[in-house]
Chains A and B, each alone.
Chain A
Amino acid sequence: MTALHDLSVAALAAELRAKKVSATELAQHFLARSQADTSGAFLSLNPEATLAQAKEADVQLASGIAGPLAGVPMAHKDIFVTIEFPTTAGSKMLEGYLSPFDATVVRKLGVQSGGAGMVNVGKLNCDEFAMGSSNENSAYKPVTNPWDTSRVPGGSSGGSSAAVAARLVPAATGTDTGGSIRQPASFCGITGIKPTYGRASRYGMIAYASSLDQAGPMARTAEDCALMLSAMCGPDLDRDSTSLDVPAENFARDLNASLDGLRIGIPKEFFGEGLAQDVRAAVDAALKEYEKLGAKLVPISLPRTELSIPVYYIIAPAEASSNLSRFDGVKFGHRTKDYTDLVSMYKRSRAEGFGEEVKRRIMTGAYVLSHGYYDAYYLQAQKIRRMISDDFQQAFQVCDVIAGPVAPTVAWKLGEKADDPVANYLADIFTLPASLAGLPGMSVPAGFGEEGMPVGLQLIGNYFKEAQLLNAAHRLQQATDFHLRQPGGAK
């Protein structure tokens, strides 16, 4: 008998529809696991609210009018505002903050009318304001990787990836600005996808870098991701001016399509000296699997891959420095107890409320936008951004999908890079380019590296080609079992 927590979202949805299990039972099961968890994945739980949602889902299932994922438990990265749970964005600035509205993505996935019917178990830990690659920047507590609790789970959606890997919930939402879904998915051996920029509404997603942020699902299988992504995406024309007016899609429609003739572009810049041997081995093995499935590997070049690091770390902090100005202790959020006038109130509230990495990025961002530096830094970065985007379009002339590693190494040890922000930035090299271009990107479990740590394969598609990416991922998962393996520590 498969344990409930070993069932996929798809399987659970089927069980629920077949009335073999109730939403309330599932909620209780996953709540118990989450409450017992020691990884630090959750920042808040509200069993009363969760069970009320489960009850609602059961009513819907009984009446026959229920969303496609009705009753399936999940959890939200603490970047999505929720009425029933506090939202902190992993920051002391928002300790205890209660939003009067739900994020659009929360509504689309939840039990409210018109939603997919999923039940929210709680809010998941993340790097503060989504800034980080290890979840060590959370102001509350770090998260440990279920595969090796002395290592990081990745970031910024570290709580999401750890929770799914440890089977505390079958699926979670994450956000990806520079790789924050793909990299933790890779580090924790799960599957995650960032859709084309503008597919999922950003309304209710606490903004880090507006032109880069995107919501996406994290689960164990590509099929689960496809089901959730279908529910999450769709135009939100009334609330998000950057939401694209493209119709919602069934991203699972092509999961089983043949990969015969699929041209997979292999960027040479992703396989240079900086790539660890164990990661290279796992990625190469996965690519061989693709060849067996009928795909062709095509060498390509993304010449400005390395430039994506300074370009991203100029643009994202610039936008963040402005997005975070609203945290001023006036309308909501932390206000210092120690002030003498308005200016000291601002300065101390923000100094106390924000962690170091956030302050660093605010400072960098304010600097590159400031008078005299705007042209040389911000404007220059936006121009190179266009060139990077053009490089991808060039590449897609000769291939359908681009593949490579997600990160240069497997998950590192907690504390190893904590004092070296630039080292963290450099490790984002493979995920940043797709973010800058707004292209959809995935991480699929591809094997294991040093000390049994998971290695993910990154798949990057052209705009709006999520279904094709998920198809490629799904076919790999039919040929391998990496995505089904369990961390040793998980019960």
Chain B
Amino acid sequence: MSLTAQDIDRIANLARLELPPEEGQRMLDQINGFFSIVDAMRAVDTTGVKPLPHPIATIQEMALRLRDDVASEPNQREANQQSAPAVERGLFLVPKVIE
């Protein structure tokens, strides 16, 4: 399984990463290097095997815990926004969002 430069462009866009051409090329080579060891994995016969999303699911029932519907978080806007790059009147500022 080999990725192409187009794959790199597409994924970089999906992941919102700007990759200058040399970096993109390096990334392509390294990721392809990695995928060469992945082939063995793809060949494994996993018919009838259920995926294991939670490691402990094999030994106990993992069910989502539900909390009571209580609004107990106080307003901590100032503390929460202390590391924000751009804030005005309590709003996070970003370049204009065009619909």
Residues of A within 8 A of B (CB): 96-98, 100, 196-198, 211-212, 237-238, 241-242, 244-245, 306-307, 309-311, 313-314, 321, 325, 328-335, 339-348, 350-351, 354, 356, 359-360, 362-364, 366-367, 370, 376-377, 379-387, 389-390, 393, 421-422, 425-426, 436-438, 463
Contact of B16 among A334, A343, A360, A384 (CB under 8 A): A343
Cα separation A314 to B40 with both chains bound (whole Å): 13
A-B contact pairs, 8 of them (CB 8 A): A100-B80, A310-B37, A310-B40, A334-B85, A348-B18, A350-B17, A367-B31, A422-B37
- Docked-complex contact B64 and A341, CB < 8 angstroms: no
Q: Give the chain A neighbours of B51 by CB distance below 8 A.
A: 379, 382-383, 385-386
How far does the alpha carbon of A311 sit from the alpha carbon of B44 in the complex, in Å?
11
Taking a contact as CB atoms under 8 Å apart, the answer to whether B83 and A422 are in contact is no
Q: Which of B11, B30, B50 contacts A366 (CB 8 A)?
A: B11
Q: Is the CB of A329 within 8 A of B56?
A: no
B27 touches A359 (CB 8 A): yes
Query: Chain A contacts of B23 at CB under 8 A?
Result: 356
Asked if B5 lies at the interface with its beta carbon under 8 angstroms from chain A, I say no
- For residue B13, give the distance in angstroms from its CB to the closest CB of chain A: 8
Q: Which residues of B contact A364 (CB under 8 A)?
A: 31, 34
Interface 1/0 per residue, B48-79 and A, CB below 8 Å: 01111111101100001101000000001001
A382 CB contacts on chain B under 8 angstroms: 51-53
**Count, A-B residue pairs, CB within 8 A:** 163
B18 to chain A, nearest CB (A): 4
Contact of B17 among A310, A359, A386 (CB under 8 A): A359
Could you tell me the distance between the alpha carbons of A437 and B58 in the complex, rounded to whole angstroms? 9
A340 to chain B, nearest CB (A): 8
Tell me the residues in window 31-50 of chain B with beta carbons closer than 8 Å to chain A beta carbons.
31, 33-34, 37-38, 40-42, 44, 46, 49-50
The reply to whether the CB of B89 lies closer than 8 angstroms to some CB of chain A is no
CB pair B38 A314 closer than 8 Å = yes
The listed residue (B33, B34, B46) touching A384 by CB distance below 8 A is B46
A330-B92, A380-B41, A422-B33 known; A96-B16 Cβ under 8 A: no
- Quick one: given A309-B37, A329-B85, A367-B7, are A351 and B18 in contact (CB under 8 Å)? yes
Which chain B residues border A329 with CB–CB below 8 Å? Answer: 85
Residues in B with CB closer than 8 Å to A421 are 30, 33-34
The 10 closest A-B pairs by CB, nearest first: A438-B55, A382-B51, A386-B52, A100-B79, A347-B18, A335-B85, A383-B46, A310-B41, A346-B16, A351-B18
> In whole angstroms, what is the CA distance A345 to B97 when docked?
12
Q: Note all chain A residues with C-beta closer than 8 A to B86.
A: 335
Known: A196-B56, A244-B56, A438-B55. A307 touches B41 (CB 8 A): yes
Cα(A381)–Cα(B8), bound, Å: 22
Residues of chain A contacted by B76 (CB below 8 angstroms): 100
Residues of B within 8 A of A325 (CB): 15-16
Expressed in whole angstroms, the minimum distance between the Cβ of B59 and any Cβ of chain A is: 6
Contacting residues, chain A, for B83 (C-beta < 8 A): 96-98, 332-333
In contact, B56 and A438 (Cβ under 8 angstroms): yes
Nearest to B31 among chain A residues (CB) is A364
How many angstroms between the C-alpha atoms of A51 and B79 in the bound complex? 23
- In the complex, the chain A residue whose C-beta lies closest to that of B39 is A310
A201 vs B97: C-alpha distance when bound (angstroms)? 37
Is there an interface contact between A393 and B16, defined as CB atoms closer than 8 Å? Answer: no
* A198-B3 contact given A363-B31, A364-B34, A367-B31, CB 8 Å threshold: no
| Complex Cα spacing A313 to B59, Å | 24
Residues of A within 8 A of B80 (CB): 100
Is the pair B37, A383 in contact by a Cβ cutoff of 8 Å? no
Contact indicator B41/A384 (Cβ below 8 Å): yes
Q: Which of B3, B51, B97 has the most CB of A within 10 A?
A: B51
Given A351-B17, A354-B17, A367-B3, also A339-B95 (CB < 8 A): yes
Decide: B37 and A342 in contact? CB cutoff 8 A: no
A370 to B31, CA, bound (A): 15
Are A383 and B49 interface neighbours, CB within 8 A? yes
Tell me if B82 is interfacial: C-beta within 8 Å of chain A.
yes
Does A211 lie within 8 Å of B53, measured CB to CB?
A: yes
Query: Which of the residues B44, B46, B54, B95 comes within 8 Å of A342, measured between beta carbons?
Result: B95
**Cβ-defined contact, B16 with A385, below 8 A:** no
Using A100-B76, A363-B8 as known contacts, list a sample of 4 further A-B pairs with CB atoms less than 8 Å apart, ordered by residue number in A.
A310-B37, A325-B15, A386-B49, A422-B34
Q: Are A307 and B44 in contact (CB under 8 A)?
A: yes
Closest to A348 in B: B18
Q: Are B64 and A241 in contact (CB under 8 A)?
A: yes
User: Taking the nearest CB of chain A, how far is it from the CB of B95, in angstroms?
Assistant: 4
Minimal Cβ-Cβ distance residue in B for A238: B67
Distance (Å) between the CB of B84 and the closest chain A CB? 6
Report the bound CA distance from A386 to B24 in whole Å.
Answer: 34
Q: A367-B7, A370-B11 are in contact. Are A314 and B41 (CB under 8 A)?
A: yes
